[in-house]
Amino acid sequence: MDDQEAPAPLNIQPAGARFTLALDMFERLMVVVLTIFFLSRLIPHVGEGPYNLLIMVSEGMTALCMVIRRPGPMATTAYAWIIAMVGTWSPLLVMPGGIQWLPVPVATAMMVAGLMCSISAKIFLRRSFGIVAANRGVQRDGPYRAVRHPIYFGYLITQAGFLSISYSGWNLLVYTACWLAMVLRIRAEEAVLAEDEAYRDYRRHVRYRLLPAIW
């Protein structure tokens, strides 16, 4: 799918320094609190299979990146915050156990591949990380040469692997909400980034947002 059309600008409302700082701290605090809650539910199930440990590492990495990331201007609209919260917090609601659709080695391999992709993308992104749409700099190296949002691509593969080994109606609902929010977040983030000429140039060179040769 060709995506060279420029997305509609996302309204980033001017905000006072105190309000911006409060949003930044709230964003970090909520992710950390929910991650602790998530880990407390998964830790008793670590011995059941490597996939539980892998999903803990994947989601735990988000909290770490939130703590160390650098601040930057961010969207303050309710829409931007809702999709960011749903996309980031919903995966922390999955439950271990359920129907196994794929052999454990296959599901584990999927999760490892997705985890390596998201970790490598975060390494290249360094401290330019957040959950609400913001321009914290344009990254073009490493996995960013393949797709424009490799962190989300890694999340998608890891979460699909976990769902294939722990399928339930609840987990499917959680990940459906997460993946829908992921698509909306990508559009929102690109609306912000498209205001930067450096990103518009990057977009011309890397055609696909999330899935190579698809979208």
Overall residue count recorded for the chain in this entry = 215
- Residue 4 within a domain: no
- Domain with residue 99: its CATH number is 1.20.120
Residue-level pLDDT at 129: 58
The residue range of the domain holding 140 is: 17-205
The answer, as to whether pTM is greater than 0.85, is: no
- Residue 8 within a domain: no
Helices (H) and strands (E) in the chain, counts: 7, 0
d(CA 98, CA 165): 7
Q: How many domains, the chain?
A: 1
| Burial class, 113, CB count within 10 angstroms (exposed 0-12 / middle 13-18 / buried 19+) | middle
- Residue 211 within a domain: no
d(CA 151, CA 117): 7
Per-position pLDDT tens, the chain of length 215: 444 444 444 444 444 567 667 777 777 787 778 888 888 888 888 888 788 888 888 877 777 776 666 655 556 677 877 887 788 788 888 888 889 999 999 999 999 999 889 888 877 776 555 555 555 667 777 888 889 999 899 999 999 999 999 999 999 999 999 999 999 989 988 887 888 888 888 888 899 999 888 88
d(CA 201, CA 28): 31
- Residue 123 within a domain: yes
- Residue 5 within a domain: no
Task: Give SS3 for 167.
Answer: strand
Q: Could you tell me the two tokens for 208?
A: 């696909």
- Residue 132 within a domain: yes
- Residue 48 within a domain: yes
Task: Give SS3 for 19.
Answer: helix
- Residue 9 within a domain: no
